[in-house]
């Protein structure tokens, strides 16, 4: 190869590396797919051939009104995990924040307080949220896993027009539990996710099909 040819090849290689670096670090999460677990995607209608899903459900869910802000955060008090939970129907069916059938797993260290802020984004039906024994996750009659772990009106739920519901409880006993909707039939149809209380975890973690993030 001539010197000129070598030079052009070398420039090509350098350009390629530069472009890759720029794309990797500069593009937003949803393009570069970096750190998806921190901003979990929701089920969308990509590839859906039924034509019934315009994507509006997917667009209205996920991070909801909070943009790219995660639905979980530490505080306000010590050893407290705050969850912004939304009841919403997507192409996947009835979900919490786009996740159902245990796709979402929330883990907190034993003894932590869970502060829940719940809204219903589903204009077609009521939803609710509560934390129950694991064995009840697909059932239709529920008991609180911890004192105060079911929201008010757990069985009748709230409508999209209702104000947000706030409640909190202390995860006092390690074990496997479920976050369910208390409207009869909803959990049985998939509106449940996993809630674990860990005796070994030091920080809360959020696990989705995209991976696990530590809340800190
Ligand atoms: Cu529901």
CA of 3 to the centre of ligand 1 (A): 69
Neighbours of 188 (CB within 10 A): 14
**pLDDT grade for 7, boundaries at 50, 70 and 90:** low
Peptide bond into 28 cis (omega under 30): no
Structure tokens at 12: 């090509």
8 Å CB contact between 37 and 208: yes
Chain segment 121-161, per-residue pLDDT in tens: 999 999 999 999 999 999 999 999 999 999 999 999 999 99
Q: Can you give the pLDDT at residue 104?
A: 98
Collapsing DSSP states into helix, strand and coil, what is residue 29?
A: helix
Per-chain residues with Cβ under 5 A from ion ligand 1: 127, 181, 183, 186, 191
Rounded Cα–Cα distance for residues 209 and 103 (Å): 6
Among 26-30, 119-123, 168-172, 176-180, name the one with the lowest average pLDDT. Answer: 26-30
**pLDDT grade for 43, boundaries at 50, 70 and 90:** very low
Structure tokens at 101: 């059938």
Q: Choose among 75, 72, 74: nearest CA to 86.
A: 72
CA of 25 to the centre of ligand 1 (A): 39
CA of 14 to the centre of ligand 1 (A): 54
Collapsing DSSP states into helix, strand and coil, what is residue 136?
A: helix
State percent of the chain over pLDDT 90: 68
Looking at every residue in the chain, the average pLDDT score rounds to 82
Mean pLDDT for 189-207 is 98
CA of 46 to the centre of ligand 1 (A): 24
CA of 118 to the centre of ligand 1 (A): 12
CA of 102 to the centre of ligand 1 (A): 14
- pTM of whole model > 0.75? no
Return the beta strands (E) in the chain as ranges. 72-74, 80-90, 93-96, 105-109, 113-120, 130-133, 165-170, 175-180, 192-198, 205-208, 211-214
Among 49-58, 107-116, 173-182, 189-198, name the one with the lowest average pLDDT. Answer: 49-58
| Bigger pLDDT: 67 vs 94 | 94
CA of 91 to the centre of ligand 1 (A): 15
CA of 59 to the centre of ligand 1 (A): 19
CA of 154 to the centre of ligand 1 (A): 10
Chain segment 126-137, per-residue pLDDT in tens: 999 999 999 999
Locus of tokens 């000129």: 4
């Amino acid at each position: 190869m001539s010197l000129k040819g070598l030079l052009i090849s070398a420039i090509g290689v350098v350009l390629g590396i530069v472009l890759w670096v720029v794309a990797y670090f500069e593009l937003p999460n949803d393009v570069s797919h970096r750190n998806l677990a921190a901003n979990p995607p929701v089920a969308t209608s990509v590839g859906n051939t039924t034509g019934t899903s315009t994507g509006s459900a997917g667009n209205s869910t996920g991070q909801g009104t909070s943009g790219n802000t995660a639905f979980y955060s530490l505080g306000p008090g010590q050893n407290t995990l705050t969850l912004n939970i939304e009841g919403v129907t997507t192409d996947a069916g009835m979900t919490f924040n786009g996740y159902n059938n245990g796709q979402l797993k929330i883990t907190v260290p034993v003894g932590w307080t869970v502060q829940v802020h719940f809204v219903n984004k589903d204009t077609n039906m009521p939803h609710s949220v509560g934390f129950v024994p694991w064995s009840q996750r697909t059932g239709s009659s529920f008991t609180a896993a911890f004192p105060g772990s079911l929201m008010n009106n757990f069985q009748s739920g709230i409508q999209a027009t209702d104000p947000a519901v706030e409640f909190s409880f202390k995860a006092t006993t390690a074990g496997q539990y479920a976050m369910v909707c208390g409207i009869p039939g909803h959990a049985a149809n998939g509106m449940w996710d996993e809630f674990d209380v860990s005796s070994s975890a030091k920080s809360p973690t959020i696990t989705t099909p995209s991976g696990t993030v530590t809340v800190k």
